[in-house]
């Protein structure tokens, strides 16, 4: 009944705060409405929540924002449905009077909330959705996105893919927008760098329902020298097991999106696919001071190690605090303006919310997977700064409605 307790705590806190507000007048909290798929995707969203809880505690311990106003977060589950998310967003805005909206994991839910944000003129910080549309085709004045988009992450992998000798490529991706755009971007960018490659096979398993034996066999039939994989979660585990058992990956290079993120890598334990080139988050190997500070605080607070979701949740709320301080107000127009070109320190280093398309330049770590001590870890990794993997301004301006 952690949730009940949390709600209760929030209620007590807000009651206490409104009392102080009466006496002190100015210390009214800054309210942030947070929406995510807590029941739909707990493996990602629970670390994410711990991340933002840590950020909020840190911010409030240092005296909050705007010279003494606390951050108060009202968090809701979207049940994995965009229409529920819109209702919840409405509840947060009209009942809870939140100043800013944040969160969401799934792309379509992110898009639904961003459209609501546009209509209700509230700033929305899309934490996790990956779809390019949220900052480009469907971008709007009030929506900002933290995570590197599908385009950016695919582009990061293309760098390494182009260096491989392989010429015959096959792709496997979940059969929805994320998988489709990842494959499309990867194909386009790799072709540009390596006109000699050809794509000889593709598989589109239904998300969550991969028929792994048939799929790996079908991929192998096209005799690829390299495979680009976009599946993740339970599909990935099945795909890796079937492929490894059948020797499909022997002598084949695999380039894989997100597989190095602890959320997806750790469940594979000792069966993590050796040698795959992946994007991810080697949390135990990054020794920058910024990350070290975050890691120590996180582990002290939760007795657990951070996942990528933790970074996303943490940085999202740090960014919100920075934007509010920069704006000097919680007024939506001012905050939206403040977010444009906002520079924030994240555990990954300095990032910027680009003025041109509201995309943050947060990057990802790209490396290879190696199995050590019975579990997978990233080796030979390097941080790819998101700023380096975005298309030219002309391309962006063409795609983003002005």
Partner 1 sequence: MGFYVVQCLSGLAQASSLFLVAAGLSIIFGVTRIVNFAHGSFYMVGAYIAVTLAERWAGGFGFWGAVAIAAFGTGLLGVVLEMLVLRRLYRSPELFQLLATFGVVLIVQDAALAIWGPEDLLGPRAPGLEGVVRILGRPFPKYELLLIALGPLVLGLLWLLFNRTRWGTLVRAATQDREMTAALGINQTWLFTSVLFLGSLLAGLGGALQIPREAVNLHMDINIVVEAFVVVVVGGMGSVGGAFLAAVLIGQLQAFGILIFPQITLVIVFLFMAVVLVVRPHGLLGRPQALARAAGNQQEPLLRPATPAGRLVGAALLAVLALLPALAGDYALTVLTEILILTLFAASLHFIMGPGGMISFGHAAYFGLGAYGAGLLVKHFAAGMLPGLVAAPLLAAGGALLFGWFCVRLSGVYLAMLTLAFAQITWSVAFQWQAVTGGDNGILGVWPDGWASPRWVFYYLTLACCAGGVLMLRRIIFSPFGYALRAGRDSPLRADAVGIDVRRIQWLAFTLAGTFAGLGGGLYAYAKGSVFPNLMAIPRSVDALVMVLLGGVQTLTGPVVGAAVFHTLNTEMVRHTEYWRLLLGVSIIVLVLVFPMGIAGAFRRRERAA
Give the dihedral sign, CA 276/277/280/282.
Answer: positive
Min dist. Cβ of residue 266 to partner 1 (A): 7
With contacts defined by CB under 8 A, how many residues of the chain interact with partner 1? 70
Q: Between β-strands 71-77 and 253-260, what pairing exists: parallel, antiparallel or unpaired?
A: unpaired
Which residue in 17, 21, 79, 371 binds partner 1 (CB under 8 A)? 79
Q: How far is CA 197 from CA 29, 155, 167, 281, 379, in A?
A: 56, 16, 4, 29, 26
Please say which residue, 83 or 388, places its beta carbon nearer to partner 1.
83
Tell me how far apart the alpha carbons of residues 267 and 9 are, in angstroms, rounded to a whole number.
33
Whichever of 271 and 337 has its CB closer to partner 1, that residue is 271
What x-and-dash track marks residues 151-190 binding partner 1 by CB under 8 A? ------------------------xxx--x----------
Out of 54, 56, 102, 133, name the contact with partner 1 by CB under 8 A: 133
138 touches partner 1 by CB under 8 A: yes
Question: CB under 8 A: which stretch of 265-273, 313-321, 324-332, 358-366 binds partner 1?
Answer: 265-273
Interface of this chain with partner 1, residues 192 to 231, rule: CB under 8 A: 202-206, 208-209, 211-215, 217-218, 221
The per-residue b/e assignment along 113-138, b for 16 or more CB within 10 angstroms, e otherwise, is bbbbbbeeebbbbbbbbbbbbbbbeb
Closest among 157, 28, 117, 53 to 335, alpha carbons compared? 117
Q: Is residue 111 a contact residue for partner 1 (CB under 8 A)?
A: yes
Nearer to partner 1, 6 or 301 (CB): 6
115 sits near partner 1 (criterion: CB under 8 A) = yes
CA dist 138 to 114, 134, 146, Å? 9, 5, 16
| Binding pattern for the stretch 225-264 against partner 1, x by CB under 8 A and - elsewhere | --------xx--xx--xx--xxx---------------x-
Give the nearer residue to partner 1 in terms of CB position, either 131 or 310.
131
Cα distance between residue 315 and residue 303, in whole Å: 20
- At residue 158, φ and ψ (nearest 5 deg) are -60, -35
User: Which residues, including other chains, have CB under 8 Å from residue 313's CB and lie 6 or more apart?
Assistant: 47, 48, 49, 50, 51, 52, 53, 55, 127
Taking the complex as a whole, the smallest distance from the CB of residue 204 to partner 1 amounts, in Å, to 5
Q: What b/e readout covers 9-30, taking b as 16+ CB neighbours within 10 angstroms?
A: eeeeebeebeeeeeeeeebbbb
Least CB distance from residue 108 to partner 1, whole Å?
5
Q: In this structure, are strands 364-372 and 349-352 parallel, antiparallel, or unpaired? A: unpaired
Enter the DSSP assignment of 138. T
Q: Quick one: 138 or 318, whose CB is closer to partner 1? A: 138
Q: What is the C-alpha R_g of the chain?
A: 21
| Alpha-carbon separation of residue 129 from 42, 297, 299 (angstroms) | 15, 26, 26
Q: Is residue 317 within 8 Å of residue 71, measured between CB atoms?
A: yes
Question: Among 28, 57, 91, 345, which residue sits at the site for partner 1 (rule: CB under 8 A)?
Answer: 91
Q: What's the min distance (Å) between Cβ of 115 and partner 1?
A: 4
- Give the phi and the psi of residue 161 in degrees, each rounded to 5: -60, -40
> Which CB atom, from 83 or from 380, has the smaller least distance to partner 1?
83
| Contact status: 67 vs partner 1 (CB under 8 A) | no
Considering the complex, state which of residue 202 and residue 331 has its C-beta at the smaller distance from partner 1: 202
Residue placing its CB nearer to partner 1 in the complex, 57 or 177: 177
**Which stretches of the chain bind partner 1, using CB under 8 A?**
1-4, 6-7, 38-39, 42-43, 46, 76-77, 79, 81-84, 86-88, 90-91, 94-95, 107-108, 111-112, 114-116, 119, 131, 133, 138, 175-177, 180, 202-206, 208-209, 211-215, 217-218, 221, 233-234, 237-238, 241-242, 245-247, 263, 266-269, 271
């Amino acid at each position: 009944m952690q949730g009940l307790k949390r709600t209760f705590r929030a209620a007590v806190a807000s009651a206490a705060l409104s009392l102080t507000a009466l006496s002190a007048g100015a210390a009214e909290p800054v309210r942030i409405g947070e929406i995510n798929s807590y029941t739909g995707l707990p493996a990602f969203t629970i670390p994410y929540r711990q991340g933002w809880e840590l950020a909020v505690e840190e911010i409030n311990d240092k005296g909050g924002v705007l010279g003494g106003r606390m951050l108060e977060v009202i968090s809701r589950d979207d049940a994995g449905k965009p229409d529920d998310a819109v209702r919840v967003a409405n509840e947060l805005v009209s009942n809870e009077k939140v100043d800013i909206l944040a969160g969401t994991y799934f792309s379509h839910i992110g898009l639904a909330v961003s459209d609501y944000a546009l209509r209700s003129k509230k700033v929305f910080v899309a934490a996790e959705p990956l779809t390019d549309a949220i900052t480009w085709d469907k971008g709007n004045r009030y929506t900002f996105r933290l995570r590197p988009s599908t385009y950016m992450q695919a582009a990061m992998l293309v760098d390494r893919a182009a260096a491989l000798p392989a010429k015959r490529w096959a792709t496997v991706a979940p059969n929805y927008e994320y998988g489709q755009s990842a494959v499309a971007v990867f194909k386009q960018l790799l072709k540009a760098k390596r006109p000699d490659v050809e794509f000889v096979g593709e598989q589109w398993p239904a998300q969550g329902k991969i028929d792994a034996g048939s799929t790996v066999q079908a991929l192998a039939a096209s005799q690829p020298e390299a495979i680009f994989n976009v599946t993740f979660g339970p599909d990935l585990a099945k795909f890796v097991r079937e492929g490894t058992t059948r020797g499909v990956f022997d002598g084949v290079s695999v380039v894989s999106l997100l597989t190095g993120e602890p959320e997806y890598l750790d469940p594979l334990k000792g069966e993590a696919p050796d040698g795959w080139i992946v994007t991810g988050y080697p949390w135990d190997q990054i020794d920058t001071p910024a990350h070290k500070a975050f890691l120590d605080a996180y582990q002290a607070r939760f007795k657990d190690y951070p996942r990528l979701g933790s970074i996303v949740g943490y940085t999202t709320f740090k960014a919100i605090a920075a934007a509010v301080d920069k704006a000097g107000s919680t007024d939506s127009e001012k905050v939206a303006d403040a977010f444009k070109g906002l520079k924030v320190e994240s555990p990954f280093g300095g990032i910027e919310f680009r003025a041109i398309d509201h995309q943050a330049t947060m990057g990802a770590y790209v490396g290879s997977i190696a199995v050590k001590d019975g579990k997978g870890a990233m080796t030979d990794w390097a941080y790819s700064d998101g700023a380096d993997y975005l298309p030219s301004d002309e391309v962006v301006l063409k795609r983003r409605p002005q």
